[in-house]
Amino acid sequence: MEDVFPVEVKLQEAEGSLTITWSDDHVSAFSLAYVRGWCPCAVCQGHFTGQWRYIESRALGLSNVEPVGNYGMRMIWGDGHDTGIYQFDYLRGICHCAACDPTGERFAERVRSKSPLGSFGR
């Protein structure tokens, strides 16, 4: 997969959704709870295990999204949690739209290997 980056990030807090439009015109529609569940930070993920874990959480609202360099974005959650930096390939890797995840398998995942998609999780 060539490097893609978000061209539009739309946070709709009332609906609890985060919609990302990518440079290749792909659209990822996430629920905030889902994005929070995959928070990649060390606080959520704990010690390195070679796997990403989905951490169930209440939907806490997302206060802000800030760009980090040219490779990712920081999510600032309603409970003040702001240590999660989501790299673009990571975010794209959890996209569960009909094209990325036709069987719903990805959406149902609760652990995943740190490199199922090439550069994903580098």
Contact set with Zn ion (CB under 5 A):
39, 41, 43-44, 84, 95, 97, 100
81's tokens: 């949690």
Q: Is the dihedral of CA 22, 45, 67, 76 positive or negative?
A: positive
Cβ distance to Zn ion smaller for residue 14 or 71: 71
The answer to whether the CB of 120 falls within 8 A of the CB of 40 is no
Beta strand 85-87 with 72-77 is antiparallel
The least CB distance from residue 58 to Zn ion, in Å, is 14
Cα–Cα distance measured from residue 2 to residue 89, given in angstroms and rounded to the nearest whole number: 10
Cβ distance to Zn ion smaller for residue 41 or 117: 41
Cβ distance to Zn ion smaller for residue 55 or 71: 55
106's tokens: 């990805």
The least CB distance from residue 74 to Zn ion, in Å, is 11
Cβ distance to Zn ion smaller for residue 39 or 65: 39
The least CB distance from residue 10 to Zn ion, in Å, is 15
The least CB distance from residue 26 to Zn ion, in Å, is 6
Expressed in angstroms, the distance from the first to the final Cα of the chain is: 14
